[in-house]
Amino acid sequence: MRQCAAVFRMSDKTSGTPKGRNSRSESTKKHIETTYLTLMLEKKWDRISVIELCKAAGITRGTFYQYFDDIYDVIEKIEAALMEDLTARFRTCTESYGPGFSISYFPDRFDLEPPGIFREWFSFCREHSTAMYPLLDRKKGDTRFIRRIRSVIQDNINILMDHDGMPNDELRAHFVSVLSEMHFLAAQGWLSGQDDGIRLNDSDIVSLLNTMRVGSVYLQWRSMNGKNDPPQDLNLTD
């Protein structure tokens, strides 16, 4: 599979900036958003007040209302830019897929390379780490945003499974659920930077996720062919 490229960055978004403003105005808007995300590290997203945000950002309330309607508008604009970026990245990946694969050819022709959507998830999290780290926090982050992100990931994993020739059965549903959750757990641990004694880079994590993908296709192939033992020449770690 061809590796897809990033399409948008949050820093390219201009929604919420008054028309005709210059780059200094855009910088002010970004400063407000970044300050809000910093406050989220210590306080739940909907418990942060406009007054508190303005004080931390060193701006007046009048300046705040030039860019945002209220505190909810701040997180909505941050999340909208992130969703647009991630959706565009995944769309580029899925559009790069070639002809669909027949699972009956699994041992000989299956592409063992990690798919683009796995790589793009971590590229996306890296480029938006300032926003993604607090937003994915299970206690202080926005659970609505997590559900929306999970839905996008699951939709794109299903597209990948269609391409991989996986039937739409219970095994596939279980795999999609587990793999999407693994995306979040891996990203949260990776973004936190806390040393738990096992340090994996994003490429290592992508390889682990891909092993789950290859394993699920292999299990389906074995089931369809009534095989109990793996083929001797099949290497799932490539």
Distance CA 218, CA 209 (A): 14
Secondary structure letter of residue 5 according to DSSP: -
DSSP 194: -
pLDDT for 64-122, tens place per residue? Answer: 999 999 999 999 999 999 999 999 999 999 888 766 656 666 666 677 788 899 999 99
Rounded to whole angstroms, how far apart are CA atoms 173 and 62? 50
Residues 6+ apart with CB under 8 A from 14: 26
Give the Cβ contact number of residue 122 at 10 Å.
20
238 pLDDT above the threshold of 50 = no
- Per-residue confidence band for 226, with pLDDT thresholds at 50, 70 and 90: low
The pLDDT tens digits for 140-163 are: 899 999 999 999 999 999 998 888
Q: Report which of residues 220 and 169 the model is more confident about.
A: 169
pLDDT number for residue 184: 86
CA distances from 54 to 13, 32, 50, 113, 137 (A): 22, 8, 6, 48, 23
Q: Which residues contact 97 (CB under 8 A, 6 or more apart)?
A: 1, 159, 160, 163
pLDDT of 211 over the 50 cut: yes
* Average pLDDT of the chain to the nearest whole number: 81
Contacts of 59 (CB under 8 A, 6+ apart): 28, 31, 32
Domains and CATH numbers, the chain: 11-72 (1.10.10), 76-225 (1.10.357)
Helices and strands: H and E segment counts in the chain: 10, 0
